[in-house]
Amino acid sequence: MQRREFISKFFRSAGIGAGAVAAGTAGLIGYYQPRKELYEVDNNGSSEAQRPASSKKVVVVGGGLAGITASIELARHGFGVTLVESSSSLGGKLTGWSLDALGETFPVEHGFHGFFDQYYNLNEMFAFAGVDKAVFDASPGYPILFKNRPAEIYGQTPRYFPFNILSVLWQSRSLDLVSFLKNYQGLWPVIGLLRYSYSKTFRDYDSIDFMTYCRRGNILPAFIDTVLHPFADATMNRMEVLSAAEALRYFHFYFMASPEGLSFRITNRDCMSALIDPLRLKLEELGVTIRSGRKALRLRIEDEKVSGVVLQGSGGSGQIYSGIAVSDVPASGWVVLAASEGVPVLVSRHDGGFVAFDARCTHMGCPVAPHPESGGFFCPCHAGKFDAAGNPVSGPPKAPLQKLSVMQKGEQLLLTLPAGDSLADDDDFLECDYCIAASDVRGTRELVRLSGLNKPDFERQVSSLGEADPYAVYRLWLDRPLLTAKFPFYTVSGYTYTDSVSIYSAFQEPFISWAKKHHGAVIELHAYAIAPEDVRAEEDIKAAMQKELHHLFPETEGATILHELYMQQSNFTRWAPGDHAGRPGTETPLSNLFLAGDWIKVDAPVFLMEAAAFTGRMAANAIFIKEKVKPVPLPIVSMDGLFA
C-alpha cells in the first residue's frame, strides 16, 4: 500500500473530512501536530511579585522528586523551607547507596530509569540545579525482545504526525499494515489514543481495565502484543488491572502528544551522584533545611489549619501497636506479626518476657524479616541488614529499627514507643505557615491517618489510595561478557517475570570498567508488576528469572554468577479502574495543606517522574497564589489528542 493511500484511509477512519485529507502532507505538518503547551494556572489575581510580602515557613514532607521540586521552587522565591525525609538520603525512587562486593564498592539504586525529552518540568529542575548534561547519553533505540517471535527494534521516531505513528508500524517486522488498516473495528480503539480528552476519556474508560478496552475494540492481537502490552507494563501496573483511561493518558503523554517522539536519555553514572547530589547541593545553596533520616509522625492541627509537623528521629511511627496475641509468639525465635492498621512488628520471647521492634526498615519503610544466617534481620527491598539488636550493619539503612515497649495484658500484648504518645527528647516540632505532603502513597496514608484531621471525606480519599503489585529488581555480576547485546536496555514481552533487561556494563560506570577488567558483565532484570498468582519465595523467583535470561541471551547459560543483588518491593502507585474519581487533588480541606506526588488527581497529561515534578510545582504554585506571588509556568505536552 502506498504511503499517501494509507494516510487518506487513516484520516477517513478517524473522522477527518475529505477536505482535510486533500490538504495533503503539508497540511498535516501544519495543523495536526503535537505541541508543547503551558498548563493554565488560575492565579486568582496574583501580582507579579517574585517573593512573599513577609517571611513564611513551609514544611515539605517527602524527599522524592515531588518534594524536591516543591522545595526548590519555594526556596528560590524567598520562602523558608524545611524538607523532611524519613530515609537517610533524598531522591525517593532515584536514591542510591553503596554496595561492597567482589572487593570493590559499587553504587546501586532502585533500578533502571529513562529520562524522556517531554519531562519538561523535571528537566527544567535538573537544569536549574546545574546537573551536568554530560551525565546523560541518548538511548540508541527502543528494542523489544519477545518470547516466541523475533525482536522488534524501534529507533527514534519522526517528530511530525502522522509519520511519528506510522514509523512505529513501519519499523515492526510482525505488524502487517494492510491487515491493520483493513481491521476497521480494531482501528477505532487505536485511534482512540489520538482522541484523548481528559474529561471524556476518564468519564468513558476509567471503569474498565486496559486489556478489556483492547479486547472490546477487537484490536489486532499482534498490535496488543507488539506495542500496547510491552509499553503499558512500564506503568508498573499490569495491563489486566490498569485503568483504560490511565493507559490512554499514558500513551498520549509518551507517544501521541509528544513532539519529541520516543527520544529518551540514560545516565552514564548512577542517579544518586549524577542527579540527586546536585539537587541536594542546590537545595542547600537556596537555604533549604534538610532533615533526612527523620520521620514525620503527624501533623498538628489548630483552628482548621496545620500549625506544624511532629518529627521523630529514630524512624518509629508514633503510634500504639495493638492486637498481638501472646499465643502468636513462638517459644523461640522471631516472628513477624501484623499489629493495628496492618503495621508489621517483630516479636520474640526473651528472659520470661517479650522483645519487639517496628518491622519497617528505616531506609524506606519496607517490612524486614528475621535472617536466620546472621541471627538479625533482613530487608528484601534494598538488601539492608540489621543485627539482633536492630542496628544496621550493611546496605542503605542508617538508623536502627525502632524498639518498642511491651506490656502484657492477659493474653494480649500492648506495644508502644518508649515515649508513649508524647514527644520524646529526640523528637522535633516544626512550626509552619504551610505544609506540603509529598510522600509516596504509603507514607501519605500513614501521615494523614495519624494526624486526626477530622475531615472524613478527605481521609477516606487518602486511605483508598493503593500501591501496584510488587516489582523485583535482580542485578547480576557475571564472569563473561554479554557479546550479543547490541543495546543497553531492552523491553521484554511474554515472560512470567522479566519485563526489561538493563546491561549496566554497557552504559554506566563503574560497571563498564569492572566488566572490561574482569571480562564480565553486569546485568539487571526487572519484573515490573508480579501478579498475585506468581508471587513466590525469593529463591524461586530468582531461579525463574535466571532461566528467562538464558532464553533471552543463550550465552549466559554457562556463566557463573559472581555476585547478585535481589530487591522486591511495592511502592509504585496503583492505577486501577475506578481509582481516579476518588483521588485527592493538590488542595485539601485545610487551607494551608497541599499534596504533591504522581498519585494525586490532576487533569494534566503527565506520568511517573514528570508527574512528580509537575505536581511539586503545582503545590508550590498553590502557596504562591495564597501569598500573591507570581506562579511558575508549567510546560506540558498537548492537553488533548490530535483528533479530540
Q: What is the pLDDT of residue 342?
A: 61
Instruction: Say if residue 155's pLDDT is above 70.
Output: no
Which tops the pLDDT comparison, 510 or 256? 510
Mean pLDDT over the full length of the chain: 86
Helix axes 120-128, 65-76, angle to 10 degrees: 60
**Is the separation of the CB atoms in 596 and 586 below 8 Å?**
yes
Q: What is the pLDDT of residue 4?
A: 42
Q: What is the pLDDT of residue 12?
A: 45
For residue 332, the tally of other CB atoms under 10 A from its CB is 8
Instruction: Say if residue 31's pLDDT is above 80.
Output: no
Q: How confident is the model at residue 258 (pLDDT cuts 50, 70, 90)?
A: confident
**What letter represents residue 270's amino acid?**
D
Q: What is the pLDDT of residue 164?
A: 59
Q: What is the pTM of this model?
A: 0.86
- 540: Cβ contacts below 8 Å, ≥ 6 apart: none
Least confident of 40-54, 483-497, 533-547, 570-584: 40-54
Q: What is the pLDDT of residue 324?
A: 81
Q: What is the pLDDT of residue 169?
A: 60
- pLDDT tens-digit readout, 263-308: 789 999 999 999 999 999 999 999 999 999 888 989 999 999 999 9
Please state, in angstroms and rounded to a whole number, the distance separating the CA atoms of residues 198 and 212: 20
Alpha-carbon radius of gyration of the chain: 26
Which tops the pLDDT comparison, 518 or 220? 518
Mean pLDDT, residues 115-140: 95
Mean pLDDT, residues 533-539: 94
> Domains of the chain (ranges plus CATH)?
3-32+140-256 (no CATH), 41-92+276-311+429-467+575-636 (3.50.50.60), 321-422 (2.102.10.10), 469-569 (3.90.660.20)
Mean pLDDT, residues 51-75: 97
Helix axes 184-191, 3-13, angle to 10 degrees: 80
Please state, in angstroms and rounded to a whole number, the distance separating the CA atoms of residues 257 and 244: 17
For residue 303, the tally of other CB atoms under 10 A from its CB is 5
- pLDDT tens-digit readout, 425-448: 445 899 999 999 999 999 999 999
Instruction: Say if residue 22's pLDDT is above 50.
Output: no
Q: How confident is the model at residue 316 (pLDDT cuts 50, 70, 90)?
A: very low
The Cβ-side half-sphere exposure at 393, using a 13 Å CA radius, reads 12
Please state, in angstroms and rounded to a whole number, the distance separating the CA atoms of residues 500 and 496: 12
- 349: Cβ contacts below 8 Å, ≥ 6 apart: 329, 330, 331, 332, 355
- 277: Cβ contacts below 8 Å, ≥ 6 apart: none
Q: How confident is the model at residue 7 (pLDDT cuts 50, 70, 90)?
A: very low
**Chain centre to alpha carbon of residue 490:** 19
- pLDDT tens-digit readout, 456-483: 999 999 999 999 999 999 999 999 999 9
Instruction: Say if residue 56's pLDDT is above 80.
Output: yes
- pLDDT tens-digit readout, 90-108: 999 999 888 889 999 999 9
Mean pLDDT, residues 598-611: 97
**Is the separation of the CB atoms in 260 and 129 below 8 Å?**
no
Q: What is the pLDDT of residue 84?
A: 97
Q: What is the pLDDT of residue 321?
A: 64
* Strand-pair category, 434-437 with 593-595: parallel
The Cβ-side half-sphere exposure at 379, using a 13 Å CA radius, reads 31
405 to 322, 328, 590: CA distances (angstroms): 12, 18, 34
Instruction: Say if residue 87's pLDDT is above 80.
Output: yes
Instruction: Say if residue 351's pLDDT is above 90.
Output: no
Least confident of 14-18, 116-120, 593-597: 14-18
Q: How confident is the model at residue 9 (pLDDT cuts 50, 70, 90)?
A: very low
Above pLDDT 90, what percent of the chain? 59
Instruction: Say if residue 223's pLDDT is above 50.
Output: yes
Instruction: Say if residue 556's pLDDT is above 80.
Output: yes
Please state, in angstroms and rounded to a whole number, the distance separating the CA atoms of residues 519 and 560: 12
